[in-house]
Amino acid sequence: MGRERKPHIGIYGRRNYGKSTLINKLTGQETAIVSDTPGTTTDPVKKSYEITGFGPVILIDTAGIDDIGELGDKRINKTLETIKHVDLAILVIAENVFGKEEEELIGMFKKYDTPFLIIHNKEDITPASEEFLESIKTKYKPESVIRFDKNNGNVDILVKEIKQAIPESAYTNPSLLGDLISYGDIVLLITPIDIEAPEGRMILPQVQTIRDVLDNDAVCIVLKEREVDAFLKKTGIKPALAVTDSQIFLKADASIPKDIPLTSFSILLAHFKGDFESYLKGTPKIDMLKDGDRVLLLESCTHHVSCDDIGRVKIPRWLSNYTGKKLEFDVVAGLDKIDRDITDYSLVIQCGGCMITRKQLINRLKPAKEKQVPVTNYGMAIAYVHGIYNRAVAPFLKTEDEDMTLYL
């Protein structure tokens, strides 16, 4: 995994206000199509670039927020959807114009706690008045307001403002395991190789965990589940922590001595980038599910779907067997829109989210939390229905007996 990741920066504004030109100036190359025809950029375009003086980022070029017609409305909706997932927004304005479209964007920025800069573009054609810029600063309180034009673009100033405005959490990660292990500790990873694993490779959460163990100057031992018992018996090694794939929690629980902390890759990720406290509160709500209740499973990536898929097959089966209820299940992959009203669901189960940022994951769950729909995580839900929930979350609680009483 490494400790670095690329921040997402969204570029917003009306059609033909120079959003694509701004991206080309930032990247120092013709990375976005520029045209005098309004509406050249249609759907949001997300690409990885290097901003000189800052580093690698994901820039998102969006359609104009003043697009017209039925198709234009759909483009605007897609543009607004991206705000949930960016770490910094840049609002491009021009010609001393600021109206309801810009106000709606800023309202979305604030709703999703997204810092934003405002750039008055095309200064070489129509310079902004000082009164206009001051009124924007006073009313909307952006991180900064910058004058810009394609000839003397003030790129250095913009890059400086980006550095100051973007949250540090957007490009640096805390340690996945840092508060669980110490220098020289032995960490045992139980990693089944199944049909969902990429050919010749391991799945991303396993790779991320291995890297983080090494980053913490600890020792990583990786085994398949059928090797665990023999390994522990032959070597006499007592790991400081064991981490398993959630799908084999029961096997791992039986193999790992009770005095060795045990959790799963999914729960590691839940603690690392999810809303762990909400998961702790939401998971026991499994016991309150009734006949006819609908459960939403959120996958944050797309992957090969096998006949025994974890989200589409195993978790629904385990939940149904545990509760003894006739439940309905929906699965939404990637960051696709959820078609049903969130209040139609009695429980939302989020995957670990290894492919997305913490902000994307938090905002993915925001509608459920706002409507007080319980949320949990793949690994935590699996541990709960298998009767090993207390053990699985204990490594993350200050004192097991004290803190568990808050949620169970």
Q: Which of 365, 334, 362, 337 is nearest to 349 (CA)?
A: 365
> What is the distance between the alpha carbons of residues 159 and 26, in angstroms, rounded to a whole number?
8
- Report yes or no on 233 lying in a domain: yes
The predicted pLDDT at position 194 comes to 63
- Report yes or no on 399 lying in a domain: no
- Report yes or no on 33 lying in a domain: yes
* 246 and 98 in a common domain: no
> What is the distance between the alpha carbons of residues 243 and 256, in angstroms, rounded to a whole number?
10
Task: Reply yes or no on whether the pLDDT at 155 is more than 90.
Answer: no
* 142 and 24 in a common domain: yes
* 222 and 261 in a common domain: yes
* 251 and 147 in a common domain: no
Task: Reply yes or no on whether the pLDDT at 241 is more than 70.
Answer: yes
How many domains is the chain built from? 3
- Residues 38/64, Cβ–Cβ less than 8 Å: yes
Last residue of a domain, one of 198, 233, 268: 268
CATH number at residue 222: 3.40.50.11420
pLDDT in tens, 278-318: 999 999 999 999 999 999 999 987 554 554 688 889 999 99
- Report yes or no on 305 lying in a domain: yes
pLDDT in tens, 158-184: 888 988 898 876 766 678 898 899 999
Last residue of a domain, one of 144, 170, 196: 170
Domain with 49, as residue range(s), is 8-170
* 290 and 262 in a common domain: no
> What is the distance between the alpha carbons of residues 75 and 44, in angstroms, rounded to a whole number?
8
CATH number at residue 371: 3.40.50.11410
* 57 and 27 in a common domain: yes
* 220 and 165 in a common domain: no
The mean pLDDT of the chain is 86
The predicted pLDDT at position 4 comes to 45
- Report yes or no on 1 lying in a domain: no
Last residue of a domain, one of 248, 268, 288: 268
Phi, psi of 91 (to 5 degrees): -95, 120
* 224 and 244 in a common domain: yes
With cut-offs at 50, 70 and 90, classify the pLDDT of residue 405: very low
- Report yes or no on 55 lying in a domain: yes
Task: Reply yes or no on whether the pLDDT at 337 is more than 90.
Answer: no
* 135 and 279 in a common domain: no
* 289 and 228 in a common domain: no
> What is the distance between the alpha carbons of residues 242 and 354, in angstroms, rounded to a whole number?
19
- Report yes or no on 79 lying in a domain: yes
Name the H helices within 169-246.
Answer: 204-215, 228-235
- Report yes or no on 240 lying in a domain: yes
- Residues 228/256, Cβ–Cβ less than 8 Å: yes
Residue 92's DSSP bridge partners are 13, 119
The amino acid occupying position 340 is R
* 290 and 231 in a common domain: no
Average pLDDT over residues 237-241: 96
CATH number at residue 150: 3.40.50.300
* 122 and 13 in a common domain: yes
